[in-house]
Structure 1
Amino acid sequence: MTDYHETPQGRRLAYMSNTAREGIPGPGIVFLGGFKSDMHGSKAEHLAQWAQAQGRPFLRFDYSGHGASSGRFEDGAIGDWAQDAAEIIGALTRGPQLLVGSSMGGWIALLLCCRMPERIAGMVGIAAAPDFTEDSMWASFDPAQRAAIERDGRLELPSDYGEPYVITRRLIEEGRGNLVLRDPLAIPGPLRLLQGTGDREVPVSVATRLLEHADCADARLTLVRGADHRFSDPDCLSLIEAAIGEVIERT
C-alpha cells in the first residue's frame, strides 16, 4: 500500500514500507532508486518481497518529480532528491539503516553517508553513478549541446527506457555542488559495489574509481560479466541479496 510523507519543503513523497518482525536483529534497509525511476522497478519490488520474507524493515519511495510523488521531474536536481531521501529516512526510520542505491541512488546514498553518517550502517551500490551529471553528461556533450543548455536551459536526450531525458541547466549546475569523488569520502560501515561489465550507462571505470576513492576499511567490488545497467536478472538479484546479507552480518 502506498503512503505519503509531507516534507518541510512542501514536497509530497510516495513511499511503501515493510515492518520488522519482532526479534530480527540488524539495520533497516532503504532502497534508493535511479534517475527518472520509481519504487516499482524490478529490483525494488524483488527486494521488498525478499525483506518481507526475512522479516526485515524495508523502505522504498519516489523522489519528488518521480513516480507518484509531487512535483515535476524537470524541476528537480541531485540536491533536492538527496534532501528528499534524508527527510524520509529521518521521519520514517529508527536506528541505523543499510542503504541500497541503484545508479543515481548510489550517488544519493554516498551523499547521505557524508551528511548523516550516524544513521548509516553500510551501503550496497548497484551500478552506482556518483557525479554522473558532470562526468558522464556534461563531459560527453558536444559544443552544440552545451550551447543549447546554456541558451535554452534544457536539452532532450534519447532514452532506452521510454520518453527522452530532459537535462536542465539547473541539474548540471546544481550537481556540481554535490560531487562526491573530488573530496574525501568516508563510508560508515561496509561498502559493497555490484557492477555489470555490459553496462552502457555506467562504465566499470566508475565503479573502480569509487572503490579506490572511498575511505572504507571494508569495501568490495563484484563485477558480473555481461550484466547490463538494469542488473535485474535472477543471478544479479541473488547477488544483491547476498551483498545485503553480508553487510548486515558485518554491522
Structure 2
Amino acid sequence: MSETSGFLPRPDGERLAWRRVAGKGPTVVWLGGYRSDMAGTKAEALADWAKANRRGYLRFDYFGHGESSGAFVQGTITRWREDALAVIDEMTEGPLVLVGSSMGGWIACLAALARPERICGMVLVAPAPDFTTKLMPASFPPEALIALREARVWMQPSEYGDPNPITLALLEDGARWSILDASVPIAAPVRVLQGGEDPDVPWRHALQLAQAIKSQDVVFSLIKDGDHRLSRPQDLARLVAELSSLP
C-alpha cells in the first residue's frame, strides 16, 4: 500500500504536514515528541507495519516541527494539543488508536481526554506528561534560570544534536495542562513502554501516569536496558507487538 502526503491549513495561515496510509481497522495516529518529526525511526516503523497489515495510519508534524510551518520557539503545549485535535477532527473518522512518544504521550493523553468517544486504545512510549513543570525545571542549571528571566529562552544543550530552545512561554503554558495531580479519566486500553535507562523521563514518572489512568486495562512494560528513544530493532518489535495486541 502507498502513502499519501499533504498539508492541513490552519486558521492562522500555518500548515501542518501529514502522511497517511489508507487501510482498515481503527486508524493509528502517531504523536511525536518534543522537537522530533514524523520521519523518525518509530514513526517510519509504524508506517511499514500499517502498509504490511493494511491498517489505517496517520502521522503529522506539529507547528514548528519537521515539514510543518511556524517557528519552533513560538510553540506551546496549547498549540501542539490544538494541532493534534485538528488532525484528528479533520483527517480521521471512526475509532482511533493513539501512539504517543515522550511529549507525544502527554499530547495523546490530552487528545484522549478531549475526544474520549473516539479513542479505542493507546500506546505510550516513554510518556512525559507535565514535563514542563515536573521534569524540566528540576534539571535547570543556574544559567538557565538567568536566561529564562532575562531573555525568556534558554538554549539547552542536547546529546541528540542542536540545542533545545526552552522558552518561558512553554513552561508557563504547560502548567495549564498538568494531568498528574489527579486521576486521569481515560477509559481505553493503554500500553506503556518505558526504558529503565532513560535519562530524560525517569521510569517512575511514566509509572505514575500508568497508575493515574482510570482504565483497568493498563499494562506498563519496563525495558530495563532501554534508553529514551526506544528505537533499537528489539524496541520497535515491542512497539509493534503492543500495538497489535490492542483489541
TM range (shorter): over 0.9
User: Does the 8 Å contact 1:77/1:171 carry over to 2?
Assistant: yes
TM-superposed CA distance for 1:144, in Å, is 4.1
Equivalence for 1:210 = 209
Q: Is the 8 A contact 1:113 1:186 kept in 2?
A: no
* Higher deviation after alignment, 145-154 or 118-127: 145-154
* TM superposition shift of 1:3: 0.6
Rounded Cα–Cα distance in structure 2 between residues aligned with 1:139 and 1:216 = 30
Specify the code of the residue in structure 2 equivalent to 1:204: W
1:45-94, Cα deviation, whole Å (9 max, x unpaired)? 01101011110000000000000101000000111001000001110000
Per-residue Cα deviation, 1:182-225 (whole angstroms, up to 9, x for no partner): 13311131010001111111111111111111111100100112
Please report the RMSD computed on the Cα atoms of aligned residues, expressed in angstroms: 1.2
In 2, Cα distance between the equivalents of 1:134 and 1:78? Answer: 12
Counterpart contact for 1:101–1:128, Cα < 8 Å:
yes
State whether structure 2 residue 39 is matched by structure 1 residue 17: no
Q: Deviations over 1:114-154 (max 9, x none)?
A: 11111111110001111111111122224442232122110
Which one-letter code corresponds to 1:189 in the other structure? Answer: A
Residue equivalent to 1:201: 200
1:122–1:187 contact (8 Å) kept in structure 2: no
Counterpart of 2:226 in structure 1 is 227
Deviation at 1:103, TM superposition (A): 0.5
Distance 2:29 2:177 in 1: 21
Tell me, in whole angstroms, the C-alpha distance in 2 between the residues paired with 1:163 and 1:140.
18
Q: Structure 1-normalised TM-score?
A: 0.94
Deviations 1:87-109 (A, max 9, x none): 01110000111000001100000
**Secondary structure at 1:57 match in 2:** strand
What residue number does 1:59 align with?
A: 58
> How high is the TM-score relative to the length of structure 2?
0.95
Report the counterpart of residue 116 of structure 2 in structure 1. 117
Equivalence map 1:34-183=2 (5 Å)? 34-183=33-182
Distance 1:48 1:186 in 2: 29
Look up the equivalent residue of 1:199 and give its one-letter code.
D
Q: Which residue identity lines up with residue 19 of structure 1 in the other structure?
A: A
How far off is 1:8 after superposition? 2.8
How many Å separate the matches in 1 of 2:107 and 2:216? 21
Distance 2:144 2:30 in 1: 33
Aligned-partner Cα distance in 2 for 1:184–1:240: 26
| RCO comparison, higher one (Cα < 8 Å, 6+) | 1
Range 80-89 or range 183-192, more displaced: 183-192
How many residues are treated as equivalent by the alignment? 244
Structure 1 runs (4+) deviating above 4 angstroms are: none
Q: Which runs of 5+ in 1 are unaligned?
A: none
Letter in 1 for 2:17: A
Q: How much does 1:2 deviate?
A: 2.9
CA–CA distance in structure 1, aligned partners of residues 95 and 13 of structure 2: 26
Structure 2: runs of 5 or more not aligned: none
Q: Which moved more, 1:218-227 or 1:145-154?
A: 145-154
Tell me: CA distance 1:155–1:70, structure 2 relative to 1, closer, same or farther (3 Å): same
